[in-house]
Amino acid sequence: MSPSTFEGDYGCPAYRDAYSRINGIVVVGEGLADRHFRLLARAIPEDREELIRLGAMEGRHARDFMGCGSNLGVRPDMALAKRLFAPLHQLFLACDREGDLPGCLVIQGLVVECFAVAAYRHYLPVADPYAQPITVGVLQDEAEHLNYAELWLKQRFAEVEAAVSAVCRRALPVALSILRALSADMRTIGMDPLDLAASFSELFQQSLGTIGYGPRQAQRLIVVAAASLPLG
């Protein structure tokens, strides 16, 4: 584990204020991930137990990160986070209702998980000593979640390709807009939002490659989404 390189003061008002919004996004995101995996467990009965196990991991992440906030005396801003996550959650629910399983797996298993892996990797070097080991453990779990979705989609690539491309066009701009809304707060806690956006798109392109896309097609999907929403 790398030692913290953040020179700021975890207890200062500016840090705590920014952290309440960042922590809110993380706690709400993990809570929704828990719900999404439970819905997936119902939709994919042959993997039910595994998906319930993955959902339970997300519930633990939400509690552990909530603990990181309380350790600093910070309460997560849940209202803002719910508002920012709502379009992605609604999109997931719509796919679930319509029986669009590839859509559900892309939203939770690729978009949200790549976002989580990229964000936690960049948070790690600036995390306080209490949050660091928690973040390391969570990162290992998120890799497992990403692998599950990649494998499911890869095994059915020919049948699901069109649905995957369609949902990427809708879900990626929402993920990027969450990132954009938190840019200033990320800077305050020592993270670089543009580095994070770059890592997210690299990871996401890698995932698309793993499931069967060619490098050009994968790049096009993410570039089109980013162009619809300049990060500035």
Interacting residues toward ligand PL3 by CB under 6 A? 22-23, 25-26, 29-30, 33, 58, 61, 65, 68, 112-113, 115-116, 119-120, 123, 142, 145
> From the CB of 100, what's the least distance to ligand PL3, in Å?
20
Question: Which C-beta is closer to ligand PL3: that of 108 or that of 205?
Answer: 108
Q: To the nearest 10°, report the CA torsion of 77, 56, 179, 10.
A: 50
The pair of three-digit structure tokens given for residue 221, joined into one six-digit string:
């999907």
Ranges within 18-37 binding Fe ion (CB under 5 A): 30, 33
Q: What whole-number distance in Å separates Cα of residue 142 and Cα of residue 150?
A: 12
Site residue total, Fe ion (CB under 5 A)? 6
Q: Does 142 bind Fe ion (CB under 5 A)?
A: yes
Q: Are 186 and 196 in contact (CB under 8 A)?
A: yes
SS3 102: helix
Measured from the CB atom, the residue of 67 and 214 that comes closer to Fe ion is 67
Give 38 or 212: the residue with its C-beta nearer to ligand PL3: 38
- Out of ligand PL3, Fe ion, none, what residue 29 binds, judged by CB under 5 to 8 A for its kind, is ligand PL3
Closest by CA to 172, choosing from 200, 195, 138, 132, is: 200
- Torsion region of 68: left, alpha or beta (phi above 0 gives left; psi -120 to 50 gives alpha): alpha
Range 43-82, binding Fe ion (CB under 5 A): 58, 61
The site partner of 22 among Fe ion, ligand PL3, none (C-beta below 5 to 8 Å per kind) is: ligand PL3
The DSSP element (H or E) to which 114 belongs, if any, is helix 113-123
Partner that binds at residue 96, options Fe ion, ligand PL3, none, CB closer than 5 to 8 Å by kind: none
Q: Select the residue whose beta carbon is closest to ligand PL3 and give its number.
A: 29
Pairwise CA distance, residues 189 & 207, whole Å: 28
